[in-house]
Structure 1
Amino acid sequence: MDVVRIREAELPVDVDAIGRLWLDYLNWGNDGLDARFGFRLPVQEFVERDLASIERFLPPAGRLLLAFEDGEAVGTAALQSLGTSTAEVKRMWVAPECRRGGIGGDMLDRLISVAEAAGYGSVRLDSPLFMTAAHALYRSRGFMDIAPYPESEIPDRYKSHWVFMERPIP
């Protein structure tokens, strides 16, 4: 069995791996949106914007994780602040060939722990409707469906194709 290691991103060393994983994730998601709903989002713009403002995913208010298998980056997950009491999970992705091994759950658990330690009262996220396996993971960690929240990057005209979730932090 391959050993998976999850660690915080080290910048600037990991920027290329982060950009590649974010682009892989958003292109994969775009293919799903196009196949099911007939639209695509400007993923290259999203990745460029996120890389240009990557500090929002860094401590103390956020976190950026990478998962490595045999030295290759195969997963990523980020946390950013939506204000003093709410954090948001962003760009959670595990390469398809590496799924079902617990990597996503381990990264999500770490982000929830970071949010708790930082004093956030809740964690939110958004995810396309077709990502049902991700929704099951989120629900297993206490996330519940909520109405769309204003800080989400999803354009209003597409929000009906998304699930919005929140998990309180006790």
Structure 2
Amino acid sequence: MKNRIAMLVFGTLFSTAALAALPVGSAAPDFTTQASLGGKVYSYTLAEELKKGPVVLYFYPAAFTKGCTIEAHDFADATDKYKALGATVIGVSKDDISTLNKFSVSECRSKFPVASDADQKIMKSYDAVLAFKTSMADRVSFVITPDGKIIYEYQALNPDKHVANTLKALEDWKAGKPVSVAN
């Protein structure tokens, strides 16, 4: 009986972990942090990147974990599709920059940058903190337009739909249609 109650409590926490992300229509909080692309560290600023076009900002719990590796591979495989839509991708986690240097090469395949949020300021500003492990980011993807507005947000610990959903949101936006991605 105790195990069953514990599983119910854990399941409730796990299923409600995705309740707080910034909603569509919100202004995307700007940030500057260390990022790695192809194992090279540089200073990434969201406002500067938005001058080039829309940004897909995705948060993930931890580099080199199963779901995060799958998600990084999916984003890497879709990089050309994002570029065709004029968009860039940035992944953010609490990992330190030395870990991200390795992750950016092996799992992101040097296709897009990953940024360090070791002090969790960025994830907190986007309300992208895991409810049951507040030192880690939830798996949340945002599509941010060049004017700094969030036009799409998707939360799911399962990494499967993040790329497809953000691509669809960008396609709708680029076509001047309302963003209509089913979660």
Give the number of the structure whose alpha-carbon radius of gyration is greater. 2
Q: Looking at both structures, which has the greater relative contact order when contacts are Cα pairs under 8 Å and sequence separation is at least 6?
A: 2
Q: TM-score, length-normalised on structure 2?
A: 0.29
Q: Which protein is richer in helix relative to its size?
A: 1
Q: Which protein is richer in strand relative to its size?
A: 1
